Structure 1
Amino acid sequence: MAVATERQDPGPAATGVRRGGAPPGPRRRGPGAHGRARLIGAAPYLLLVPALAVTAVLLGWPLIKNGLLSFQNLNMRQLIQHLTEWNGVDNYRETLTSEDFWRVTLRSVIFTAANVVLIMVLGTLVGLLLARLGSKMRLLLSVGLVLSWAMPPIAATTVFQWLFATRFGVVNWVLDALGWHSMAHYNWTGGQFSTFFVITLLIVWQSIPFVAINLYAATTTIPGELYEAAALDGAGTWKSFASVTFPFLKPFLLATTFLEVIWVFKAFTQVFAINEGGPERLTETLPVYAFVEGVGNQHYGMGAAISLLTIVVLLALTSYYLRIVLRQEEDEL
């Protein structure tokens, strides 16, 4: 017995068509939807607010106070009597017309350039060595690099002072044992170049781990197929490095050089702790010069002016370096 089923009309609700036959219009958002969209768009900027506030408090406010101090004549008398004596730009005028300031500035630039070149060359070589070593030797070398990197600057400076001590230093003892008997009681901090040699050795030793470990991490991102293709084309070790490794590492090397310029130029602890800028203030760099003039000679306004001029010199160096980098990138494009 056949049963007839009648097809039911799904109605306007199921077909999405209004009774009048027109399709439904676009759905309107409520006022709260626009507010949520704006909140989502502003979320990254809101997350930056705490970090910017902390930076403004810890860095911005001291910089403002230092700037105000640079326009004052502030010595011990003013500090004891709580006096504020404004002297305009006299501190800057006296500093910029001083031969000592420009001599120290040139010395700081040469010192920074020499250290950065050594750091980048040796750090790159150690990083490439890490990529070539086996897992056990790589782990052992990495641990040694991390330990030297993690050593506090004062502790590292103390170790180097002991190594290069005049009477009981390990370096003098080794040199004497190797036949250089004139070096048995050599005073490494008695001359300008020998003092800078010790400081440079210390700074380079502490900086190589940062470059080496990060460069090794960058080499792990290079596809192995590129080296296989270079080997099939008959490329040797040097050509493979120039055509495959260096192009991948170039952005890292440029960024690391930029960071090392800043780190070496503002180095204070190692330079001051080795010999306090001596002998006869011949190893002072700009940070040490600002400290000696400000705190050592109790000319706090003068020291503040020198410190701000140090920031200006550092900004000039970094901006010049960035211009060179950007120009090279434009040439490559």
Structure 2
Amino acid sequence: MSVQTEGTDTAGKPAVRKARVPAPPRGADGASRASSRRGAGVPYLLLLPALLATVILLGWPLVKNGMLSFQNLNPRQLIQHLTEWNGFANYREVLTEAEFWHVVERSVFFTAANVVLIMGAGTLIGLLLARLGKKMRLTLLVGLVLAWAMPVVAATTVYQWLFAQRFGVVNWVLDKLGWHSMADHNWLETQFSTFAVVTLLIVWMSVPFVAINLYAATTTIPRELYEAASLDGAGAWKSFTSVTLPFLRPFLYSTTFLEVIWVFKSFTQIFAMNEGGPDHLTETLPIYAYVQGVGNQHFGVGAAISFLTILALLIITSYYLRMVLKQEEDEL
């Protein structure tokens, strides 16, 4: 291999000479290609342990639950170790019951109310964090983290104590403020009040996640955009709608999707608070599946209800993924 170089001859005129450049050793291109192929496979090897753990811990229970939903599994079958396949009989029984559709309707409204309150309060607190000073921001962040880190059963126990009928703090405060009829009020007596207490608990535990992540998202917005908006005469609301909201929109989409899943599958808060009472009026789909499967020992029916719940979550997931993909196409 040769390249041309410029120099001068004996008369001082420029001359062009050819210089020899050593060629790359044979097989170097093949070795580099093989090395790049090995490097491309490294991420998949790193993901392999997590994928295996997911398949073992989540995939196999899901398959087992699907198999149980096609069986007639009651105490007699368990004692005698019998496997009785009954096809879609469990699904027909569940889908033809009016109570199941009442539970579905109740679950949808319960999830929607909680998600709206969580996203609204979390967004406002997150924007407040972005405007506070360092000391106040640190104090509020510590409080949010403590509320977020509290175990679910512990938080539910605290709320049971707060709203207790005879010695609850809420009733005592209301009585001292002049509402003497609330001194011995039973907050778990009706469907609405029970859902109100559970909703307050779930919102209190979920708002920190939204607020902290939204505050983190606001720190990525370039300050130059706010300066440009102010030079254009934009006020606080215009700056929010034209600068802040476009940056936060992907975060709001993803967080809303996660909150829908987390609230929809809430079990511990509702069951530990009042076990789906009074009169099964606060049962959502996870509680209903547990009551039918474990409580009534109709394990095949319970598996069918839980599988239908998973199917509903998959539909929600597919809608979210389609929305995200559409947004990416619009950005391109």
TM-score normalised according to structure 1 size: 0.89
Task: Name 2:37's counterpart in structure 1.
Answer: 38
Give 2:10's aligned residue: none
Give the whole-Å Cα distance in 2 for the aligned partners of 1:51 and 1:332: 31
User: Which residue of 1 is the match for residue 174 of structure 2?
Assistant: 175
Residue in structure 2 matched with residue 6 of structure 1 by the alignment? none
2:241 maps to 1:242? yes
Which residue does 1:269 correspond to in 2? 268
1:127 aligned partner, one-letter code: G
Distance 2:123 2:33 in 1: 52
Q: Which has the higher strand share?
A: 2
More displaced stretch, 319-328 vs 197-206 = 319-328
Question: Does residue 87 of the first structure (1) align with residue 76 of the second (2)?
Answer: no
223-232 or 34-43, which moves further after superposition? 34-43
| Deviation at residue 27 of structure 1 after TM alignment | 3.4
- 2:211 aligns to what SS in structure 1? helix
Residue matched to 1:190: 189
Work out whether 1:136 is the aligned partner of 2:135: yes
- Secondary structure of 2:147's aligned partner: helix
Q: What is aligned with 1:11?
A: none
- Quote the residue 1:218 is aligned against: 217
Q: Which amino acid aligns with 2:88?
A: V
1:54 aligns with 2:36: no
Q: Which moved more, 1:44-53 or 1:293-302?
A: 44-53
Query: How far did 1:48 drift?
Result: 1.3
Q: Which amino acid aligns with 1:267?
A: S
- The runs of at least 4 consecutive aligned structure 1 residues that moved more than 6 Å come to none
Code of the residue aligned with 1:169 in structure 2: it is G
Q: Do structure 1's residue 288 and structure 2's residue 292 form an aligned pair? A: no
- Whichever residue aligns with residue 75 of structure 1, its letter is N
User: What is the CA distance between 1:16 and its match in structure 2?
Assistant: 3.6
Moved more, 159-168 or 175-184: 175-184
Is residue 206 from structure 1 mapped to residue 205 from structure 2 by the alignment? yes
Q: Deviations over 1:235-292 (max 9, x none)?
A: 2211111111111111111111111111111111001111000101000010110000
Any idea what SS the aligned residue of 1:60 has?
A: helix
Q: Give me the identity figure in percent.
A: 74
Counterpart of 2:69? 70
Cα distance in 2 for partners of 1:305, 1:226 equals 52
**Per-residue deviation at 1:231?**
1.7
Q: For residue 105 of structure 1, give the secondary structure of its aligned residue in structure 2.
A: helix
2: CA distance, partners of 1:219 / 1:30: 47
TM-superposed deviation, 1:332: 6.8
Matched, 1:118 2:89: no
Distance 2:33 2:297 in 1: 60
Specify the code of the residue in structure 1 equivalent to 2:196: F
Query: In the aligned structure 2, how far is the partner of 1:325 from the partner of 1:273?
Result: 36
For residues 140 and 256 of structure 1, what CA distance do their matches in structure 2 show?
24
Residues 181-210 of structure 1: per-residue CA shift (max 9 Å, x gap): 111111111100100000100000000000
Measure the CA separation in 2 of the matches of 1:227 and 1:204. Answer: 32
Aligned length: 315
Any gaps of 5 or more consecutive residues in structure 1? Answer: 1-14, 18-22
Q: Following the alignment from structure 1 to structure 2, what is the Cα–Cα distance between the partners of residues 35 and 231?
A: 54
Corresponding residue of 1:233: 232
CA–CA distance in 2 between the matches of 1:249 and 1:277?
Answer: 37
For the residue of structure 1 that corresponds to 2:317, the secondary structure is: helix
> 2:160 aligned with 1:161, yes or no?
yes
> 1:37-94 CA distances to partner (integer Å, 9 max, x unpaired)?
3322211112111111111000011111111111111111111121111111111110
Letter in 2 for 1:269: T
SS at match of 1:278: coil
Alpha-carbon distance between aligned partners in 2 of 1:111 and 1:229, rounded to the nearest angstrom:
42
Distance in 2, Cα, partners of 1:33 & 1:330: 35
Render the CA deviation track for 1:148-179: whole Å, top value 9, x for unaligned.
Answer: 00000000000000000111111111111111
Normalising by structure 2, report the TM-score: 0.89
Moved more, 39-48 or 198-207: 39-48
Give the whole-Å Cα distance in 1 for the aligned partners of 2:323 and 2:181: 46
Range with greater deviation from structure 2 (135-144 or 227-236): 227-236
- Matched residues in 2 for 1:79 and 1:104: separation? 28
2:314 paired residue number:
315
Separation in 1, partners of 2:303, 2:50: 26
Q: Please name the residue that 1:4 is paired with.
A: none
List alignment gaps of at least 5 residues for structure 2.
Answer: 1-18
Deviation digits for residues 128-160 of structure 1 (CA, Å, limit 9, x no counterpart): 111111111110000000000000000000000
Deviates more, 1:254-263 or 1:314-323: 314-323
CA RMSD of aligned residues (A): 2.0
| Distance of 2:317 and 2:23 partners within structure 1 | 61
Between the aligned partners of 2:329 and 2:30, the Cα distance in structure 1 is: 47
